[in-house]
Amino acid sequence: MSHNQPQNKERILIKGAYLMTQDNKLGNFVGDVLVADGRIVEVGRDLSDDRARVVEGTGNAVLPGFIDTHRHNWQGALRNLGPAWTYEEYRSNVQIGLGQHFEPRDVHVGNLAADLMSLDSGVTTVRDESHISNSPEHSDAAIAAHWESGIRAVFDHGWPSTEAEQWQFGSNRTHPADIRRIRNEVLSDDSARVTLNAMLRGPELSTPDVSAQDIRLARELGLRISMHVGLGEWGADQQAIRQLAETGLLASDMTFIHCCTSTDEELRMLAAHGATASVAGALEVFMPGLGQPATNRLLAAGVRPSLSVDTETIVSGDMFGVMRATLAYQQLILAGAAGPMDRIADLPTFDAADLLSFATIEGARAAGIDNRTGSLTAGKEADLIMIRLDHANLLPATNVAATIVAGGHAGNVDMVVVAGDVLKENGVLKAADTVFDEAAASRDRLFHAAGLPLPA
């Protein structure tokens, strides 16, 4: 299959950077990274290579690209609409109000807009939770955008946004059968830059029988599974993780998103079965109705979580904001202002260095691609970012992890490499600049189709 995609794999030697490898054997040190044929060839000190283009890294930090383990990319043209929306407002405005009017071209440009802002802010892998499967063409359009943008994408095929209310909260419809076609004809290669997973509703958003059928389908197709659980009071009542454990369906191929109101016992079940978790720390503190980030409770259960953006309609799509918001909620716990599920005395804490590992290697583990990406390790695919530390907002840089987490933003991301393709360099994203004009036109068309006024 041929794809319209970046193909500028260079031989690059990054010299003298502060390497935050996220590889436990290597740790952090000032050194060099050699990239060739799309892979990391060597990570060490005083490397030389006659054929490589040398990139001066002195004074900069180099780390594996950020991995966002849960974003609804199709909403990229609707970004920043409702920072003060409640969960119900988000559902009625976006999933129910606008989602049913999406045409494939809207999915395409939304996904492209989401991918490009992700790359610009140092996200090299996104797990696209695509609950916009209104037709096969919608899914194909989403996947095409990932090939075009150059990002590494795990495409999690979900349910439609047409008849949205029939597809959630007790739905008796089984997962759309089109996932078989996508698996067999579109995304059959698990070593490609774009791969397939299944975004399932599970027992919390469908029925136990439907959930079991969907899980069996995903496993028959050899697909990992993501599932939204622990959503507000509904999630606390349903206890989806416990249901899965009791029916023998809970396994290490599952990533549980949010877990805000999952019980501590459920989180221990998740850990015992080797499953993984995705904390959307910014979205969860911004949007009333879901519950609070479960980061510290997950750590107490023995799970190092990954991090995710969720919906750009409410929060910024960069991982700097996600890391800061996730930390902000921990600090509220420490200040005695925790939500009802957090008890300070029992909870382990995390720091800036932990957050960087959640946003990189733990994301790769959650997406099941840690053999390919997530750390600066020889043999892995070359997904890395360089962050300038000599910008006014970061100087004087002291502890580098703290500097990046407390002060970093997309403008500090100087270089972005995915699978050896240089997609941003010298602070400039290499991308078609008409995408955002098309995104604005898509937004206008969608609001018109839904009979809604553009928010003033």
By CB under 5 A, name the binding residues for Zn ion. Answer: 310
Distance CA 104, CA 135 (A): 8
Amino acid letter, residue 38: G
Shorter beta-carbon distance to Zn ion: residue 131 or 304? 131
* Chain-centroid distance, C-alpha 61: 22
Backbone torsions φ then ψ of 178, nearest 5 degrees: -60, -20
Count of Cβ atoms closer than 10 Å to residue 444 Cβ: 12
Shorter beta-carbon distance to Zn ion: residue 126 or 387? 126
Encoded tokens for 324? 């800061």
How near is the Cβ of 342 to Zn ion at its closest, in Å? 22
How near is the Cβ of 129 to Zn ion at its closest, in Å? 5
Shorter beta-carbon distance to Zn ion: residue 178 or 310? 310
Residue 152, phi-psi category: left (phi > 0), alpha (psi -120 to 50), beta (remainder): beta
Confirm if 291 and 284 have CB atoms less than 8 A apart. yes
Radius of gyration of the chain (CA): 21
Shorter beta-carbon distance to Zn ion: residue 128 or 310? 310
DSSP string, 247-292: TT---TTEEEEE-TT--HHHHHHHHHTT-EEEE-HHHHHHSTTS--
How near is the Cβ of 310 to Zn ion at its closest, in Å? 5
Identify the CA nearest to 199 among candidates 142, 119, 137. Answer: 142
Classify 110 as helix, strand or coil.
helix
Shorter beta-carbon distance to Zn ion: residue 253 or 310? 310
Chain residue at closest Cβ approach to Zn ion: 310
How near is the Cβ of 257 to Zn ion at its closest, in Å? 6
How near is the Cβ of 203 to Zn ion at its closest, in Å? 17
Shorter beta-carbon distance to Zn ion: residue 69 or 375? 69
How near is the Cβ of 131 to Zn ion at its closest, in Å? 8
Distance CA 241, CA 280 (A): 18
How near is the Cβ of 64 to Zn ion at its closest, in Å? 24
Shorter beta-carbon distance to Zn ion: residue 131 or 138? 131
